[in-house]
């Protein structure tokens, strides 16, 4: 029984601390720490400030890089401490620190400009200044149920109400045995193929015909323009010709016809010059 009991003479094994695992950070170098032949040996004037600049300091062989910062002493406590308010265990046992509740702030309701403007118009106001003064004197606020999203007392729903989407009805076993889903799928594919073929035929018909724009329609069907007569002086409007070198009208027509036939062989803008060939 002694072997199963507690053995007070055996000491508990001490757990390894952070200092045992990680070596303490290196302090900044000083002139006394520099040895001849080391990486940070300087020639000439040497100051401690030169060895505290990480841009100038060279890394040492077999050591971690120095950060050139002085660490506080062993009595320094890292982190945030609440001085004057944290009394520790005696304060926690002695009394509870209760938070004083603050009075709820009354929410200011927005103004109801629609009703105020309506009443101002009913009173006979027309200008913006009159409406402004009327709103200052007759202030109307929006009621609770007007601007809040949800009502104060929403209607109570029945206890047996089920929220969410209802379940899909079960598939009859007769549809599974008759392969009804396969027949429906085949029918849908045939209908889709028929629609595709019809659209393809309609597309082929449209490709053979050119699309007529408004300009093409106007070019094919020209609107007859009304030609207005040229302007003449009133005194020459009904005056007949005083000189006519042709005996008859038939001779005049024959002469102009002969001139048109010989126009290709004559020179000049009016085709009345010499002949271009003999």
Tens of pLDDT along 136-158? Answer: 999 988 876 555 555 566 678 88
Q: Supply the pLDDT for residue 207.
A: 65
Q: Residue 24: is its pLDDT beyond 70?
A: no
- How many Å apart are CA 189 and CA 197, to the nearest integer? 12
115 and 137 in contact (C-beta within 8 Å)? no
pLDDT at 1: 46
Return mean pLDDT, the chain: 78
Q: Would you list the DSSP string of 78-126?
A: -S---TTT--HHHHHHH---PPPPPPPPPPPPPB-HHHHHHHHHHTT--
pTM for the complete prediction?
Answer: 0.21
Asked if pLDDT for residue 61 goes beyond 70, the answer is yes
Of 25-39, 120-134, 247-261, the one with minimum mean pLDDT is 25-39
Q: Which is more confident, 219 or 277?
A: 219
| Residue 251 pLDDT class (50, 70, 90 cuts) | very high
């Amino acid at each position: 029984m002694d072997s199963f009991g507690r053995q007070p003479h055996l000491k508990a094994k001490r757990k390894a601390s952070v200092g045992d695992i990680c070596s303490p950070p290196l302090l900044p170098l000083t002139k006394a720490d520099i040895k001849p032949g080391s990486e940070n040996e300087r020639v000439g004037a040497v100051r401690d400030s030169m060895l505290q600049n990480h841009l100038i300091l060279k890394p040492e062989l077999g050591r971690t890089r120095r950060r050139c910062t002085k660490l506080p002493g062993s009595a320094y406590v890292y982190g945030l401490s609440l001085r004057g308010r944290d009394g520790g265990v005696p304060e926690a046992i002695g009394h509870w620190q209760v938070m004083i509740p603050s009075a709820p702030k009354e929410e200011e309701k927005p103004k109801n400009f629609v009703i105020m403007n309506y009443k101002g118009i009913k009173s006979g106001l027309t200008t913006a200044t009159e409406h402004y003064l009327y709103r200052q004197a007759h202030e109307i606020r929006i009621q609770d149920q007007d601007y809040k999203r949800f009502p104060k007392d929403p209607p109570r729903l029945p206890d047996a109400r089920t929220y969410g989407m209802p379940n899909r009805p079960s598939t009859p076993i007769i549809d599974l045995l008759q392969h009804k889903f396969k027949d429906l799928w085949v029918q849908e594919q045939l209908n889709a193929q028929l629609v595709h073929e019809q659209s393809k035929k309609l597309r082929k018909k449209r490709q053979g015909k050119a699309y007529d724009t408004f300009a093409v329609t106007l070019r094919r069907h020209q609107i007859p323009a009304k030609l207005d007569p040229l302007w003449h002086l009133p005194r020459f409007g009904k005056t007949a010709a005083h000189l006519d070198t042709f005996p008859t009208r038939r001779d005049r027509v024959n002469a102009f016809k002969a001139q048109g036939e010989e126009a290709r062989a004559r020179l000049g803008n009016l085709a009345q010059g010499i002949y271009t060939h003999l």
